[in-house]
Amino acid sequence: MNKKYSISLLALALSSSFAFAQSINEAKTAINAEQFDKAKEILKDLIGKKPADGVNYFYLGDVFLKEDQSDSARYYFDQGLLAKTKGSLNYIGLGQIELDNNRSAEAVANFKKAEKDIKKKDYNEQLLVAAAYLNSKMPNAKEAQTIAADVVAKDYSNPMGHLLLGRAFLEQKNLNDAFASFRNAYDLDNTLVEAKLQMAMITKRARAYADAIKACEEILATTPGYAPAYREIAEISYMWSKANAPREKELIAQAGENYKKFIKATDNSIDSQMRYADFLVKTENYPELERVATQMKDIKGVNPRIHRYLGYAAYENKNYQVSVDALDKFLKVYLKESKSLNAIGRDYMYLGLSEIGLSNDGENKELYNKGLNHLKDAINVEIAIAGEFNRYGLDLFRAKKYQNVIDVLSISADVKESSGYIYDNYYVGYSYYLLGSTDRPDSEDLLKKADEYLAKTIEASPLTQEAYFYRARANRYIDHVDAYDRMFESYQGFLKVLGEKNELKDAANKEQVIEAHTSIATYYANKNKNAEAVEEFKKVLNLDPTNSFAKKTIEAINKG
């Protein structure tokens, strides 16, 4: 659900002709402050007292939608349909769920069922449909605009009509008309602080971050404790941090502090804590994320996504058993219970990496292989996740765990669509070379695998000079005439690429260039192409005048 705009729908319902009870007003106050847990308590109590009133079910179901818990929302909407009065409003909630699932025809059918019982001049109830179109994960701003514009045309003094019209314009990136509509809404009702907040959000879109924060602070000055303003300051600060490298740490810290104020202002609602957890994921603050997720995981009604976050954070903090337990339970229990959550590639990737870590990088073979299989599952679920393997493979490479590099990155190296395809193949090939260049019984087989992966690297990226160089070395140690030819061709390719990049004379490349010319010269000499061999050895001497091998070989050729 589009939570930035989450207040409007319930504000509309609560301001309509059927909303007069004191408990409803209390719910309205809680919802406007995004104190969703408190609102749910009030609404559940109201349902117990007035089970025949469908409005109460609608409110409660919509609160669950705001918390992205569509299963619970659907339950209350379905119950609300059975109520004697105003039950048909619950079709609006069910319609939004259909929109969320990209089933627009079913959504429209539900909205029409609701509209049958809405009176022609009950504009606020009509606007509930417009709000549903906007609050959906798959918003339809044009439909919302049509409904809101019609209400404004019939009742210009309706502030909620202007507010929703502004939101519809904003969704379509019509910032000028959106700002004008929000200003109209606020002028008609200056207690409608959401309208002023929306204007601040437009200012944020213009990247006038300081002005947007100032506008939010003005809201807090007149409406102390208004939770959405703290949330917006937090989100603005985070966005600003991405565009201001010198102040990045300061602004991220500012965002974190305002998320904490947001949590406090919502009476520690589960939803606000979940928002903070989302922020910690984005900023990769894994120690704090693990702490928060550990505190939240056993709270009744918490979004199961928190178990996913615990698994991610625990892996990054090297708490592999905690990660395995959290992700295993998330995938096997919570996903089966939820209709709104699906497994993503990252779930299986972190589970696999944690199992590999827990196996002590392969000492426990069974657990290690289980981890590798989960990495394969990750790609089967979401092929794009292959692009993230490289980061973890590089960590293993830096730790000189070359067999682990091969085991992990060879999985993603097979995915041509992966953003890491070139480097994954390179590091697998390089790792095979490093293992094969040591004295071991399977050295030649390892070097042949190095050749295979480095050849794939060259095919995908012909200007990757390191791939040519180490492919040449790998073939140099393989005892076969074809390998000797591949060595020669690879060294030539290495020099050609450096030449195209004007890097032949770079000091950093000197030793490798000498090696390449020496090997090419030796190849020519062994093929009795003495003139070519002498020419290559002279290039060696130009770089290293004291090179005794080049001098002696030239002398031998000249004598012979």
pLDDT value of residue 18: 40
Residue 18 CB-density burial (10 A; 0-12 exposed, 13-18 middle, 19+ buried): middle
The model scores a pTM over 0.85: no
pLDDT, residue 11, reads 52
Burial class of residue 553 (count of CB atoms within 10 Å of its CB; 0-12, 13-18, 19+)? buried
- The pLDDT tens digits for 201-211 are 999 989 999 99
- With a cut of 50, say whether residue 58 has pLDDT above it: yes
Q: State residue 4's pLDDT score.
A: 44
Q: Given the structure tokens 């319930």, which residue do they identify? A: 10
Give the tens place of pLDDT for each residue, 109-139: 999 999 888 888 888 888 999 999 999 999 9
- Read out DSSP for 463-532? T-HHHHHHHHHHHHTS-SHHHHHHHHHHHHHHHHHHHHTT-TT-GGGHHHHHHHHHHHHHHHHHTT-HHH
Is 5's pLDDT higher than 50?
A: no
Burial of residue 364 (number of CB atoms within 10 Å: 0-12, 13-18, 19+): middle
Looking at residue 22, its pLDDT comes to: 52
When the pLDDT of each residue in the chain is averaged and rounded to a whole number, the result is 92
Q: pLDDT tens-digit profile of 512-542?
A: 999 999 999 999 999 999 999 999 999 999 9
Percentage of the chain modeled with pLDDT above 70? 96
Nearest CA to 403 out of 378, 428, 425, 421 is that of: 428
pLDDT of residue 338: 74
Asked if 414 contacts 375 with a C-beta cutoff of 8 angstroms, the reply is no
Residue 433: name the closest of 476, 482, 479, 474 by CA: 474
Instruction: Please check the confidence at residue 20 and state whether its pLDDT lies above 60.
Output: no
Share of the chain above pLDDT 90, in %: 83
Rounded-to-integer distance, Cα 16 and Cα 371, Å: 55
Average pLDDT over residues 451-460: 98
Q: Would you say 429 and 453 are in contact if contact means Cβ atoms under 8 Å apart? A: yes
Q: How confident is the model at residue 8 (pLDDT cuts 50, 70, 90)?
A: low
Domains, the chain: 197-283 (1.25.40), 285-381 (1.25.40), 505-559 (no CATH)
- The better pLDDT of the pair 471, 302 is held by 471
